Amino acid sequence: MSEIRIAVFASGTGSNFRRLHEVSERGELAPGKVVLLVSDQPSCLAVSYARKAHVPVIAHTFKELGGKAAWEAHVVEKLREEGVSLIALAGYMRLVGDTLLSPYKGRMINIHPSYLPEFPGLDAVQQALDAKVPETGVTIHFVDEGLDSGPIIDQRRIQIEPTDTHETLLQKVHAVEHQLFPQVVQRVCTSC
């Protein structure tokens, strides 16, 4: 089976990117391999980690490249040059436009910190706390034109304790994400 070259998109701390990269370096994503980080936030921690780990980086703001469509066109060109066949959105905080989605439809997955369809969008952890629900979760899904609305690949539930704060619940979510995301990415690579 030929190698599935993976680009990870991240906008922030990059904890899921770091986890995917570490697992990839150990060969545990095979036939997948993380080969590129893409970010819309050039100064974010994910970019810093990638550079220290010698992972190639594409990092520009939308403004630097003349807007979202131009940014996405530039990224698609670079993805093609790198032979990327799977995109993993790992804390990428932008809606994907058609310029990027169209050539990668069915080959782009996203990790979201809730048990979708509950709490789509930004700060799902705080949304769950504000709703005072007994549980939330982690969802990995294919990306479509909507907001966290694509076909679900896998999910895990997470109990919310009355004493949980944003920080403690986020830690629980990250623990599940870091375990589940590499498993799902590897499974998707195997089925490509």
For the annotated catalytic residues, the residue numbers are 112
Find out whether 9 and 101 touch, Cβ atoms under 8 Å: no
3-state secondary structure of 183: helix
Cα separation values, 67 from 60, 63, 128, 192, Å: 11, 5, 33, 32
Q: For residue 143, count CB atoms less than 10 angstroms from its CB and return exposed for 0-12, middle for 13-18, buried for 19 or more.
A: buried
Distances (CA, A) of 4 to 19, 32, 104, 105, 185: 17, 4, 13, 16, 10
* DSSP-derived secondary structure for 103-114: HHTTSEEEEESS
Dig out the tokens for 149 from the structure: 């609305």
* Euclidean distance between CA atoms 31 and 50, whole angstroms: 21
